[in-house]
Chains A and B, each alone.
Chain A
Amino acid sequence: MISNATAYIVSQLESELKTLPGRSNEIVQHLLELGYISLQKTNAIRESDIALAKEKFLDDVLTSDLFENTYIEKLLLTGHDFLMSTLLRQLTDIDEGMTIEKLPLTGEVSLKTRLIHYRLDIFGLWPLDIAVAFSSLSLLNLKEIAGYAGCNELEALNLIADIEKFTTHLLKNHEEEKFILVFKSPKVSEKTRNNLDRRHPFKRQLIEDFGDKTDYFRYLSKNILVNNPNNVDVNFLQKEALDPFKKFVLRLIQVHQWKDGFYSGLLDSDMGEVTLKSMLDAIEFYNNSENRNIKIHRVLTYVHQGYFIFNGLFFLQEYMVENDQLTAKDGEQKVLDNILSQLVVSDEQGKTDFSSNMNKLKNEIYSEAEQKPSERKGFLQRIYFGVKGLIKKAFRFARKIFSWIKDKVMKMWGFLKTLFRTFFDNLAMGIRAFVDGINFLFGRKFIESSLGNEMIVSKFSIDGDSVSITSGQISKILETHLQTIDYNIKSMKFTLAVAGGILKLLMEMVSILTWPLLMFNIIKIYKNISASYLDFKAEVI
């Protein structure tokens, strides 16, 4: 039915699918983040915990007022996994997160209360289980953020779901000196301390930036950034390091760093070696991407007795806030188009290098996606899966991304991994839909459900369904199996539309296709067909 060349590509795509990151660990991470699986279970999660958590989550989604039913139905058309991961990503999004219209009542336990506790947890303000009822503590901690932001609790809750907007809001509403941050990092090595002891240039820069505008800056110059460390006013540093607002801003910076892929440690407010390194990496990254030469002392210096001073104002304004009003969707399209256009005109060596390094990038992303979420010191080791904010930043240097990959620029590699995680995720979804559709057309589509030694296998083809069962003791999995069949049947139309699009591409381009070109086109087809199926306001992530 299909040409040999196309059949070959189909089998290649099937193999390729096995090397692309899946969404199962991501789904588990989000279920942990929203308290559907207890944090204590993280390092020993059983399949039954996951199944129960998914079921409870979907029940909560259907009874909450956070999503329209029509939206859920449309998502279901594109597959059950897609439904789950899209809803979970939307809920855990802190780039352009969901707006909550009304605070819950005390005692309420719902998806909304979990979402509130999740957001507080991200900012280090939730010490309890995410799943507990909304309480006076929930309100108190929202009040703390509202106090910093100068707004009411509901506004604060919605502001922290858009971290960039929230940061801009804080920068506008607080004096500059509130962003000159002091923190104690006693475990940082002597070597790092010496390396980061930039008191003199830091002081000169501070005078250049702020002069003696306020008593605060004058005091820093005279009593903190002094020649003899023994004359440093340590009491002042101690007091500053305990300032609740400044501690909160430091946490905000850690969250920014995590979100942008510079920081892969725990979200624990601990400004240790890993967090410091992430700050230095960010400076180096932006220096390289924008041909600038920002020195470390512009941002950071070690002072004395484990204390550091950090110019959070410069850091946030320069690196964490994107003023361009470009939407993430436009940004992604432009980044992809830019890479594609450079790929097409690149010479053979360039194409080969790009293809090989893209493969390395994919393998590293795959290895990370295969790692199950873990718990350390009572914190969840997690990855941020949203890329909206990052894509807006990426657009600034879209033209450079092609050569960063082609030349495997190591300084940019961490950023590229974060940026391309979604890219490969979309590729996997596109190929999966394609393979699924082709298998259905050729009567090779199977759905398997198993429990212990018992198994049900359903085989589908256009003129009938057949079910094969290992024994009569399978009543426990019958219901789940039926549900899986229904999910698959509902998404078949979408699957075949994607399959049709990719088949058409293969037919037209079979003689000139290179793997990267095919990959980029599959993503474009998948995203375009998704967009036409999911014709609603919320963006597909």
Chain B
Amino acid sequence: MSKIDEILQKIENGVKDLTTLKIQTVMGKLEIDSNKQIDFVTGQEIDGIISKIDLIDGDITTQITEKFYQKYPELVQFHQSREAKGHEIIEGNIMALGTIVSTLKEMF
């Protein structure tokens, strides 16, 4: 299999695996690590909200810390706005991946 076929195959597999969308909004102190990536400072308590959307049966599971829910209503709202767009996001992502596959195929 050529390298380009490998890439196409992996992208297509990626699209097939897209059955769950995870959206998380978390809060804590950030730092820049040695790889110049932004990450949370270790050892701190992190507050936040995580939603998992099952794209097949439409189930949405949400976990939220109590402090986050009580203290930051505007952030809960922010998260919900991303959650409400969950299907749109995943649809967009699938289309986007479709685009790269078709661009690569067309240009062959």
Contacts and interface: CB of A to CB of B under 8 A. Distances in A.
B97 A462 contact: yes
Contact of A478 (B10, B78, B89, B102): B78
A477 to B, nearest CB: 11
Contacts of A472: 27, 71-72, 75
B18 A504 contact: no
B92 A2 contact: no
Contact of A448 (B15, B22, B38, B95): B38
B17 interface: yes
Contacts, number: 117
Interface stretch (A91-99, A191-199, A491-499): A491-499
Interface in B18-65: 18, 20-30, 38, 40
Interface residues of A, number: 39
A504 B97 CA distance: 15
B92 A492 contact: yes
B74 interface: yes
Interface string B79-108: 101100000010011011101111110011
A1 B24 contact: no
A471 B46 CA distance: 11
A333 B93 CA distance: 33
A492 B11 CA distance: 15
Interface of B (DSSP majority class): helix
A508 B96 CA distance: 22
B3 A507 contact: yes
A501 B107 contact: yes
A497 B30 contact: no
B21 to A, nearest CB: 5
A467 B79 contact: yes
A509 B25 CA distance: 42
Contacts of B17: 463
Contacts of A6: 3
Contact of B18 (A448, A463, A492, A501): A463
A516 interface: no
7 contacts: A462-B93, A465-B82, A467-B26, A467-B78, A470-B28, A472-B71, A475-B74
Given A462-B15, A500-B103, 8 more contacts: A437-B100, A463-B22, A466-B23, A470-B30, A475-B74, A478-B75, A482-B78, A497-B100
Closest 6 CB pairs of A and B: A500-B103, A464-B22, A500-B100, A496-B100, A466-B24, A467-B25
